[in-house]
Amino acid sequence: MAAIYEFKAKDRTGAEISLVDYAGKVLLIVNTATGCGFTPHYDPLEAMYKEFKDQGFEILDFPCNQFANQAPGSEEEIHNFCTMKFGTEFPQFAKINVNGEDAHPLFAYLATEKPFEGFGKGLKNAALNKFADMNNKKYGDKAYIKWNFTKFLIDRQGNVVARFEPTVDMKDVRAAVAELLEKS
């Protein structure tokens, strides 16, 4: 059994969920924030979920407030925002930390399996990199995730096959998900 299935996390209601419950599915694990410039990613994420969920695809949403305090609400407030504004139906977990000493072990694992390789080229990406570096300086070598809406693609065997920074076009994320679903 792959290491990904050894992790547990609390869902938004506080119930502990084992990732083994998702064994055999293609997963997209995302750290999110409701007040981020990338929050509109919820629209294409939900579209992907609706399109692919019957093929064994799940999106696991982990809100995080470590990036410029862009997810300050309670689990209920975050859930209400996501369902009312974006109509999200995919599983949402309790708010976690993804960096530092208190980082959820799942995200430390994901980030070591697929480390950060940059936000890409262009002025916007360079600006985000500068801002992220400043924000993450306090986490040192435990700055696993650089910004909100970092996505990890997991195959049906539990292997981390790709990492998508928030600057990656959501069409490219969708294409990778579709390709992985076709292969398996």
Nearest to 30 by CA among 153, 181, 119: 153
Contact status, residue 160 vs residue 152, Cβ threshold 8 Å = yes
pTM of the model: 0.94
pLDDT at res. 151: 98
Split at pLDDT 50, 70, 90, the class of 1 is low
List, as one string, the DSSP characters of 144-176.
---STT-EEEE-TTS-EEEEE-TTS-HHHHHHH
State which residues form the domain around 64. 3-183
The residues annotated as belonging to the active site are 36
Residue 123 has pLDDT above 80, yes or no: no
pLDDT tens digits, 60-113: 999 999 998 999 999 999 999 999 999 999 999 999 999 999 999 999 999 999
pLDDT tens digits, 148-160: 999 999 999 999 9
Q: Structural domain tally of the chain?
A: 1
Rounded percentage of the chain residues whose pLDDT exceeds 90 = 79
For residue 46, give the CATH number of its domain: 3.40.30.10
Contact status, residue 92 vs residue 11, Cβ threshold 8 Å = yes
Tokens 């050894």 belong to residue: 6
Give backbone dihedrals phi and psi of 115, rounded to 5 degrees, phi first: -65, 160
